[in-house]
């Protein structure tokens, strides 16, 4: 290859944690910078090289009209567009506002609400433009990020697991906290990728990586309810960092009996 | 040079989050300075309402991927205050060790990848590596050790999962922690080298009459505990924070901007303020090296903040070594049990970027009824604008590109975290007609 492929990192509504994962590849960062041109990455460099780009990494969700327009422009600039993390992939924790009155939200935080322009929803990037690949997690797993970059450099599709956190628990030989202790755990319906971190630390999975392929979330929450777990607790459990992921949303709406107030961008 | 000039930076780089700067000049007079924080708001305080107490540190961590521990620590202590829970000295010690990990990781990132390039004339840490490869690699290894500490205690470096109200879900394995000692000892020596490097940088002679605000604790360098003190003579407990500091909402910002009341003046939080107030509490090596580094403290030049960060990295490594050596894993319990109950609690800690305040009210249903979070960058925002008003006249002889670059450098003294402050940066310079 005569010219290095160009990588760009774009931010929408988010905490910066997923793009930080690239800088957290301390051992590999300089090698990555050698293999690809990190052409656009505001958090890491001042000189920003114009597109088009070979790989576009998108962090964050769409919460303003301006951002809804910006993602369309970015899509045109990027050959391979990848969403990184729960915000970009499902709308993130800020999608909780989809269930509430956005005006009321603004009024409760800001003294002069008319200075704030925000959409009533927080939506996934894929609700606005076609996405070529998604990296799950809140935050993403940096090993998956490196796998993504290296596989794209080799011209193959990245491989990330689509099975559940349970498989990782078994592999780690963690005793199942749902079975042994009756704790409501989202592991059975959550996509692997964190190495089943939370159960290994004696606590429930709370779904950072979003729904796994073909999950049956409602069957799981029904089971927990039969075991005596409070329905409101289950609503909150399924309504957190991936609240707007369709399978989690369906379960939390059924549990709470209240669908979101605003149009969730589910088209 | 035209009579009217504007400088603008539409998207500030090497900062966390999104903002812009706009400066309008009428001749040599700075007519208008605006730090525009256009990062979209995320409304954390609103959606914390109705959540369970135990969910709070998991949710507030998501305010910032660079300093999640600051949010988690402040949330936990504030909620424990509301619940009347007192954690054991062993849990305090592990929390301090966790915070050391975050200070090391966050400061090392800022020193090497975000701020040093300004002093050495590069546009990024990565391009700086072409000429200063050893320094950048050393910085990355320091950062990595901070992250390893976070992973051992918190489960992972970004958004740790092992922190909870009452303590930790699981106590760390002493063997794993002690296994990190050789790296921590290397880190202590390497961070002394970093201080020697950054204290040789050329610093613009730019002093401001800062009102430095931070926590101070007589027995330790402030992280999780202390009283709020200021250069103007304040010395108050965390619970009185809101009587002395208030947030205002400005048109150009999705961040709220704090002022000291009743005078409504700006103030400075962060590493320079901490070093100025708490020099005596630095660890022995940090204090010895700080005295020998050639920069004298107290300092009112915030370009020295990179030196202050380097001193704090030494302190954090030395403290981490002590804490790891003392840890024997014989925690009677990794967390204190508690029952939900109605009440209100406050707490203040020191995030890498400065003071952070949280207040929570728990309702009769045991759920969060109200939350208030004041991050460091929104407290510094007014001061950044005051600095710019004083700094811009010193760069008027520079061309627009150079003047803009110097202003961005000055803003990076603050290590602004815009993602945090949004509830929170663009640089724009206007020397005439606004485009």
Nearest to B129 among A15, A30, A118 (CB): A30
Give per-residue pLDDT as tens, A142-156.
999 999 999 999 999
Q: Which B residues, 4 through 43, put their C-beta within 8 Å of a C-beta on chain A?
A: 11-18, 39-43
pLDDT band at B331 (very low <50, low <70, confident <90, very high): low
Among B208, B353, B253, smallest CA distance to B35 is for B253
Q: Is A112 on the interface with B (CB under 8 A)?
A: yes
pLDDT tens digits for range B263-280: 889 999 999 999 999 999
pLDDT value, residue B426: 35
Q: Is A264 on the interface with B (CB under 8 A)?
A: no
How far apart (Å, rounded) are the C-alpha atoms in residues B396 and B329? 59
Confirm or reject contact between A23 and chain B (CB < 8 A).
yes
Candidates B12, B14, B41, B112, partner chain A, best to mutate (most A CBs within 10 A) = B41
Which among B200, B177, B28, B204 has a CA at the least distance from the CA of B97? Answer: B177
Which B residues, 251 through 270, put their C-beta within 8 Å of a C-beta on chain A?
A: 251, 253-254, 256
Q: What b/e sequence results for B247-269 when a residue is b if at least 16 CB atoms lie within 10 Å of its CB, and e otherwise?
A: bbbbebbbbbbbbbeeeeebbbb
Residue B144: closest CA among chain A residues belongs to which residue? A26
pLDDT at B3 over 80: no
A261 reaches B (C-beta below 8 A): no
If DSSP codes are grouped into helix, strand and coil, which group holds residue B343? Answer: strand
Distance of residue B278 Cα from the nearest chain A Cα, in angstroms: 30
Phi, psi of A135 (to 5 degrees): -105, 125
**What pLDDT is recorded for position A113?**
55
* Cβ partners under 8 Å of residue A73, min gap 6: none
**Range of weakest confidence among A91-95, B19-23, B291-295:** B19-23
Q: Residue holding tokens 């042994």?
A: A180
Q: Which pLDDT band, with edges at 50, 70 and 90, does B431 fall under? A: low
Contact of B47 with chain A, judged by CB distance below 8 Å, is answered with yes
Question: N- to C-terminal Cα distance for chain B?
Answer: 18
Mean pLDDT in chain B?
A: 91
Whether B250 has a pLDDT exceeding 90, the answer reads: no
> Per-residue pLDDT for B360 more than 50?
yes
Query: Does B130 contact chain A (CB < 8 Å)?
Result: no
Residue of B nearest to A44 (CA): B14
- Average pLDDT of span A234-248: 97
* Best residue in A17, A31, A67 for a mutation probing chain B (most B CBs within 10 Å): A17
For the cut 90, the answer to whether the pLDDT of residue A19 exceeds it is yes
Query: Which residues on A lie below 8 Å from B47 (Cβ)?
Result: 93-94, 96-97, 100, 105
Taking Cα atoms as reference points, which of A55, A37, A85, A86 lies closest to residue A151? A55
> In this predicted structure, what is the pLDDT of residue B267?
96
CB-nearest to A139 from B40, B159, B417 is B159
Cα dihedral angle (A134, A136, A139, A145), rounded to 10 degrees? -50
Q: Hey, are the CB atoms on B52 and A233 less than 8 Å from each other? A: yes
CB–CB contact A45 B18 (8 Å):
no
Give the B window 373-412 contacts with A, CB below 8 Å.
Answer: 405, 408
Q: pLDDT for B182-209, tens place per residue?
A: 999 999 999 999 999 999 999 999 999 9
User: Which residues 6+ apart lie within 8 Å of A153 measured at CB?
Assistant: A5, A35, A36
Reported in sequence order, the residue ranges of B182-339 that DSSP labels E, i.e. its strands, are 213-216, 227-230, 235-236, 245-249, 256-260
**Domain map (residue ranges) of chain A:** 6-153, 165-256
Dihedral of CA atoms A259, A262, A263, A264 in degrees, nearest 10, equals -70
Q: What is the pLDDT of residue A104?
A: 66
* Radius of gyration, CA atoms only, chain B: 21
Alpha-carbon span B1 to B259, nearest angstrom: 36
Omega of the bond leading into B298 within 30 degrees of 0 (cis):
yes
Q: DSSP string spanning chain A?
A: --SPPEEEEEE-BS-SHHHHHHHT-TTTHHHHHHHSEEEEETTTBS----S-EEEEEEESBB-SHHHHHHHHHHHHHEEEEEEESHHHHH--GGGGGGGS-HHHHHHHH-SSGGG----S--B-GGGTS--SEEE-BTTB-HHHHHHHHHHHHTTS------SBHHHHHHHHTPPPHHHHH-----GGGBBP-S-SHHHHTTS----TT-B-SS--HHHHHHHHHHTT--HHHHHHHHSSTTTTSHHHHHHHHHHHT---SS-----
CA–CA distance from B245 to each of B77, B149, B300, B377, B416 (Å)?
A: 20, 34, 21, 14, 19
Shortest CB distance from B161 goes to which of A201, A233, A240?
A: A201
For residue A94, list chain B residues with Cβ-Cβ distance below 8 A.
42-43, 47
Rounded to a whole number, what is the largest CA-CA distance in chain A?
63
Chain A residues touching residue B141 (CB < 8 angstroms): 26
A158-172, B152-166, B229-243, B370-384: least confident range = B370-384
Would an 8 Å CB–CB cutoff place B79 in contact with chain A?
no
Chain B CB within 8 Å of residue A24 CB: yes
pTM of the model: 0.94
Summarize the confidence of residues A174-183 as an average pLDDT. Answer: 95
What would the pLDDT profile of B23-49 be if each residue is shown by its tens digit? 888 888 888 888 877 667 778 888 899
Instruction: Note whether A251 and A238 are within 8 A (CB).
Output: yes
CA distance A49 to A52: 9
* A49 part of contact set with chain B, CB < 8 Å: no
Cβ pairs bridging A and B (under 8 Å): 178
- Of B63, B86, B75, give the one whose Cα is nearest residue B368: B75
Sorting pLDDT into bands at 50, 70 and 90, what band is B334? Answer: very high
Per-residue pLDDT of B57-87, as tens digits, reads 999 999 999 999 999 999 999 999 999 999 9
* Confidence band for B358, pLDDT divided at 50, 70 and 90: very high
Domains of chain B: 56-204+326-392 (1.10.645.10)
Q: What was the pLDDT predicted at B75? A: 98
Place of tokens 């509830």: B423
**Cα(B207)–Cα(A222) distance, rounded to whole angstroms?**
64
- The confidence score (pLDDT) of residue A110 equals 60
Mapped onto helix, strand or coil, the DSSP state of residue B260 is strand
Residue B93, CA atoms < 13 Å, CB-side half-sphere? 19
Q: Which of B12, B159, B408 sits opposite A138 (nearest CB)?
A: B159
Q: List the beta bridge partners of residue B248.
A: B257
pLDDT at A106: 63
Whether A30 sits inside 8 A of B136 (CB atoms) is: yes
Q: Which of residues 149-208 of A touch B (CB under 8 A)?
A: 194, 197-198, 200-203, 206, 208
Q: Which residues of A touch B426 (CB under 8 A)?
A: none
- Contact, B54 vs B362, CB < 8 A? no
pLDDT for B427: 38
Query: Which residues in chain A have Cβ-Cβ distances shorter than 8 Å to B369?
Result: none
For residue B127, list chain A residues with Cβ-Cβ distance below 8 A.
45, 47
The answer to whether B47 contacts A201, with C-beta atoms less than 8 Å apart, is: no
**pLDDT tens-digit map of A84-133:** 999 999 999 999 988 877 566 666 666 555 555 677 889 999 999 999 99
Residue of A143, A201, A240, A262 to mutate, testing the B interface (most B Cβ within 10 Å of its Cβ):
A201
At B380, phi and psi to the nearest 5?
-85, -10
pLDDT in tens, A25-65: 989 999 999 999 999 998 898 888 999 999 999 999 999 89
Of the pLDDT bands very low, low, confident and very high (cuts 50, 70, 90), residue B378 is confident
Tokens describing residue A131: 């996405």
Name the one residue in this structure whose structure tokens are 């918190």: B154
Residue B427, chain A, CB below 8 Å: the answer is no
For A11, which of B18, B156, B253 is closest by C-beta distance? B18
**pLDDT score of A267:** 35
**Residue B367: its pLDDT value, please?**
98
Residue whose structure tokens are 């003046």: B265
Q: Which residues contact B34 (CB under 8 A, 6 or more apart)?
A: B21, B22, B23, B252, B385, B428
Strands A6-11 and A37-41 turn out to be parallel
**Smallest CA–CA separation between B296 and chain A, in Å?**
31
Work out the burial of residue B138: count CB atoms within 10 Å of its CB; fewer than 13 is exposed, 13-18 middle, 19 or more buried. buried
Question: Are the beta carbons of A201 and B254 separated by less than 8 Å?
Answer: no
- Which residue in B58, B65, B141 is closest to A17 by CB distance? B65
**Are B419 and A15 within 8 A, CB to CB?**
yes
Residue-level pLDDT at B429: 47
Contacts of B328 (CB under 8 A, 6+ apart): B174
Tokens of A37: 């041109």
In sequence order, what are the residues at sequence separation of 6 or more whose Cβ sits closer than 8 angstroms to the Cβ of residue B245?
B258, B259, B260, B261, B267, B357, B374, B379
pLDDT tens for A184-237 read 999 999 999 999 999 999 999 999 999 999 999 999 999 999 999 999 999 999
Which one of B62, B155, B256 has the shortest CB-CB distance to A197?
B155
Fold type of domain A6-153: Rossmann fold (3.40.50)
- Point out which residues pair with B434 in neighbouring strands: none
Q: For residues A96 and B368, what is the distance between their CA atoms, to the nearest angstrom?
A: 15
Q: Is the dihedral of CA B66, A61, A93, A117 positive or negative?
A: positive
CA-CA distance, A63 to A127, in Å (whole number)?
A: 12
Mutate one of A46, A230, A261 to test the B interface: name it (highest B CB count within 10 A): A46
Closest-CA distance of chain B to residue A138, Å: 8
Q: Does A256 touch chain B (CB under 8 A)?
A: no
Q: To the nearest 10°, the Cα dihedral for B337, B339, B344, B349?
A: 20
Contacts of A231 in chain B (CB under 8 A): none
Two tokens, residue A57: 């990494």
Which pair of tokens denotes residue B56?
A: 């709070």
């Amino acid at each position: 290859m005569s010219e290095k492929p160009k990588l760009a990192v774009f931010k929408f509504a988010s905490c910066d944690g997923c793009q930080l994962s690239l800088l957290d590849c301390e051992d590999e960062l300089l090698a990555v910078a050698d293999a690809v041109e990190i052409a656009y990455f505001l958090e890491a460099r001042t000189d920003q090289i114009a597109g088009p780009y070979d790989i576009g990494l998108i962090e964050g969700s769409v919460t303003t009209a301006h951002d809804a327009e910006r993602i369309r422009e970015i899509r045109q600039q990027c050959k391979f567009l990848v969403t990184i993390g729960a915000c970009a992939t499902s709308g993130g924790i800020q999608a909780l506002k989809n269930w509430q009155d956005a005006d009321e939200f603004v009024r409760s935080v800001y003294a002069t609400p008319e200075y704030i322009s925000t959409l009533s929803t927080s939506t996934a990037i894929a609700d606005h433009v076609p996405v070529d690949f998604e990296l799950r997690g809140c935050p993403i797993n940096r090993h998956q990020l490196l796998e993504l970059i290296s596989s794209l450099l080799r011209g193959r599709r990245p491989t990330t697991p689509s099975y559940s956190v349970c498989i990782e628990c078994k592999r780690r030989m963690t005793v199942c906290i749902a079975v042994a202790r009756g704790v409501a755990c989202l592991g059975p319906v959550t996509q692997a990728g964190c190495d089943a971190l939370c159960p290994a630390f004696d606590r429930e999975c709370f779904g950072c990586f979003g729904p796994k392929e073909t999950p049956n979330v409602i069957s799981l929450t029904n089971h927990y309810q039969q075991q005596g777990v409070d329905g409101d607790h289950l609503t909150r459990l399924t309504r957190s960092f991936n609240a707007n992921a369709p399978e989690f949303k369906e379960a939390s709406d059924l549990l709470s009996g209240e669908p979101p107030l605003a149009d969730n961008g589910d088209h | 040079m035209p009579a009217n000039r504007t400088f603008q930076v539409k998207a500030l780089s090497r900062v966390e989050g999104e903002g812009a700067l706009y400066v309008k000049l009428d001749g040599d007079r700075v007519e208008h300075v605006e730090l525009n924080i256009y990062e979209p708001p995320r409304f954390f305080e609103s959606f914390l309402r109705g959540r369970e107490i135990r969910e709070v540190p998991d949710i507030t961590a998501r305010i910032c991927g660079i300093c999640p521990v600051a949010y988690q620590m402040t949330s936990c202590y504030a909620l424990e205050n509301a619940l009347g829970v007192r954690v054991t000295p062993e849990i305090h010690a592990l929390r301090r060790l966790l915070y050391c990990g975050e200070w090391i990781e966050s400061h090392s990132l800022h020193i090497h990848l975000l701020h040093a390039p300004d002093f050495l004339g590069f546009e990024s840490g990565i391009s700086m590596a072409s000429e200063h490869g050893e320094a950048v690699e050393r910085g990355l290894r320091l950062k990595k050790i901070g992250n390893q500490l976070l992973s051992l205690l918190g489960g992972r470096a970004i958004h740790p999962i092992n922190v909870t109200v009452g303590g930790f879900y699981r106590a760390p394995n002493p063997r794993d922690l002690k296994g990190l000692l050789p790296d921590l000892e290397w880190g202590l020596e390497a961070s002394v080298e970093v201080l020697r490097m950054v204290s040789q940088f050329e610093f613009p002679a730019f002093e401001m009459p800062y009102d430095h605000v931070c926590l101070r604790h007589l027995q330790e360098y402030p992280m999780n505990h202390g009283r709020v003190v200021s250069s103007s003579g304040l010395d108050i407990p965390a619970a009185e924070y809101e009587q002395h500091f208030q947030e205002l909402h400005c048109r150009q910002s999705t961040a709220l901007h704090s002022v000291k009341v009743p005078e409504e003046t700006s103030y400075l939080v962060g590493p320079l303020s901490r070093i100025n107030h708490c020099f005596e509490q630095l660890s022995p090596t940090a204090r010895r090296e700080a005295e020998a580094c050639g920069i004298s403290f107290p300092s009112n030049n915030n370009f020295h903040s990179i030196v202050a960060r380097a001193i704090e990295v030494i302190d954090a490594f030395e403290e981490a070594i002590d804490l790891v050596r003392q840890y024997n894993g014989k925690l009677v319990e990794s967390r204190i049990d508690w029952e939900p109950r109605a009440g209100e609690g406050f707490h203040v800690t020191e995030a890498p970027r400065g003071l952070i305040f949280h207040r929570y009210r728990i309702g009769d249903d045991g759920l969060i009824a109200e939350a208030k979070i004041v991050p460091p960058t929104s407290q510094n925002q007014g001061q950044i604008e005051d600095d710019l008003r004083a700094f811009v006249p010193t760069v008027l002889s520079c061309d627009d590109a150079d003047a803009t670059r110097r202003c961005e450098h000055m803003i990076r003294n603050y290590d602004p975290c815009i993602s945090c402050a949004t509830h929170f940066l663009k640089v724009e310079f206007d020397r005439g007609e606004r485009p």
